[in-house]
Amino acid sequence: MHFELGKLGKLKKCMKITFLGTGSSLGTPIIGCKCDVCTSNESKDKRLRSSLMIEIMDKTLIIDAGPDFREQMLRFNKNFKLDAIILTHAHRDHIAGLDDVRPFNFLQKKEIDIYAENNVIVAVKNMFFYSFDDTINKGVPRFNLKTITNETFFIDKIKIIPIRVFHSMEMFGYRIEDFTYITDLKYISDEETEKVKGTRILVVSAVRLKKHYAHFNLEEALEFIEKINPQKAYLTHMGHNLGKHTDLQKLLPKNVEPAYDGLIIS
């Protein structure tokens, strides 16, 4: 699929979007689970922890770096290029892989920019405390931490709009041009919903069929998609009890698809 998003002067900015992982916090298959999804041989039913790669204007941006970050970079980042990581929130399934920026430090001979709000920055400093120990000079990941707020920010000329949502904690989704990515979503205010309207491509989480205390289930995700009315929507952060990819697709409107690891929109 090819689409052009926005304009910079007379130049149209094209994005290549790769789903690095589309699973929930436990991934699929879940260790020890023998359900039909976890034992499926279909590649689209195997879901690493949720993460996204965006290639735009000669920049490679990653949203979230969970425990599967190393495997995702080996499988899907064929150019081994990384300009920045943008974090949604501080849960381990979204930040635990940051230690594996070390090869990029070596390859690119620089620190990796990490964009996140203050509480996430604090969590990164606590989890990766050894990276901030001045007595350790080698063998640790090097970060250039950049604090963001609920205000538009730029990575070079790339405009990024944070979208405040609620999970079991406050967190951010992000909009870049006509593309919006929101994971781990349970509640979004009307004010923040306005930031999403006009989106052509929307990615939103749907963790399971039954109601969940901290996540959209499928029904809630579809209601939100209908409200936004994008040209195309994809589901991510899917748990094993959402069902198999092929069975789930049958439940969805024509403009909605379950994403899968390795899916490219470009």
Number of H helices, E strands in the chain: 7, 15
pLDDT the model gives residue 2: 44
Beta bridge partners of 182: 204
Average pLDDT in the 9-25 region?
A: 82
Q: pTM of this prediction?
A: 0.94
Is 4-265 a domain of CATH 3.40.50.10800?
Answer: no
Structure tokens at 149: 């707020």
CB distance 201 to 3 below 8 Å? yes
pLDDT the model gives residue 137: 77
Average pLDDT in the 99-103 region?
A: 98
Average pLDDT in the 28-53 region?
A: 98
pLDDT band of 136, cuts 50, 70, 90: confident
pLDDT band of 5, cuts 50, 70, 90: very low
pLDDT the model gives residue 158: 97
pLDDT band of 9, cuts 50, 70, 90: very low
SS3 content of the chain, % helix, strand, coil (to 5): 25, 30, 45
pLDDT band of 11, cuts 50, 70, 90: very low
Share of the chain above pLDDT 70, in %: 95
Candidates 225, 228, 213; CA nearest to 252 is 225
DSSP string, 113-181: EEEE-HHHHHHHHHHTGGGG-TT--SSS--EEEEE--SS-EEETTEEEEEEEEESSSEEEEEEETTEEE
pLDDT the model gives residue 7: 41
pLDDT band of 266, cuts 50, 70, 90: confident
Q: What is the mean pLDDT of the chain?
A: 95
155 pLDDT more than 90: yes
70 pLDDT more than 50: yes
Average pLDDT in the 150-165 region?
A: 98
Q: Where are the domains of the chain?
A: 4-265
